[in-house]
Structure 1
Amino acid sequence: MMVVKTDKKKETDVRLDAEMLEVCKQRYMAELNWAKKNTLPMFKLITVDEKNRNWSFLFTPDQPPYNNGGFRLSVLLPVNYPFKPPSVNFLTKIMHPCVDEAGNVSIPGFKSEEWKPTLRIRDVLLRTAQLILDLEANRPLRNDLAELLNSNPALFTQKADEYTKKFAEKR
């Protein structure tokens, strides 16, 4: 890296940026090593696209209405991770109030303004599982499903189970 010595503040800023990128790279590698060696219940690392920093996991819930299938998740880590949160997207269709039709998921605590660099991919996966299995609808992306869940939980569970059997990957 080249440092232009026009003024002291700019030189310091450039050096801090390089240091920050090195910290991000080290954290990324540590997280990747963890993901390759360790497994969490219900999650299996499927692929890692290191160039694009995109990891995919197979999520196999152990509770109804999602326990009859597996769901692929994409976890995309920005270059400045862990200082910015990863984005989580369901690649497999899932019927849940906090997952929109495109697979985007709303996980409390993981928006940019709420994110803390001490959080890890493990935390992201565990919180995703908790959100799905607890059938939370606090931050719905699909109001129709949130209303159904709140008004008739049994019907929601039945429909979500049918949806899982139709669209989820076989276990």
Structure 2
Amino acid sequence: PLQLLWINLVTDGAPTVALSQEPPHGRVLDEPPRPTNAPIIARALVFRIAFVALFMAAGTIGTFLWTWVHGDLAQARTVAFATMSVFQLFNIYNTRSLTDSVFRIGLWSNRWVTWGVLFSATLLIAAIHIGFLQTALRTVPLTLGQWGIVVLVSSTVLIAEEIRKWVAPGLFGLEISNSRETARAPVRVR
């Protein structure tokens, strides 16, 4: 339970706050306002969240099982914790725009997000390699090879979302607005 709190509060905290400094992309002010009866979270966004969540869950479970087979349970738990945390750090770049590639926007264009990710990554490394944090979070040190697997697997969420944005921005059959703030179903006129 403490590891989940760490991921939700510590790993996600700084990058999420940094997203508030994200400049608008495209022609956000030219878009019409959302209808007053539109849901707060549109169906397109729910499907996108589910896609990313399942992707992250599969990667985390995969790294856990791989490490457990080749190591021990404590290492496997730590690798799973690190994988889920690093998935979140890569995914913060996906959330900068629902449809625009982070590489078109500029991977480093929001320096606050970059600093937030670096800060959270540093705290994650501390949680896994500093004694009193290891005790509190029940982690064990990871090898460089294990860290490599964590980063490699976790980076796939960025790649998968970039492919989705490029190949099928409306993958789930719903229009996703060009702005990063909204996702909405097509408006039906009666």
TM-score (norm. length: structure 2)? 0.29
The answer to which structure has the higher strand fraction is 1
**Structure possessing the higher relative contact order (Cα contacts under 8 Å, 6 or more residues apart):** 2
- Normalising by the residue count of structure 1, what TM-score does the alignment of the two structures yield? 0.31
Is the helix fraction higher in 1 or 2? Answer: 2
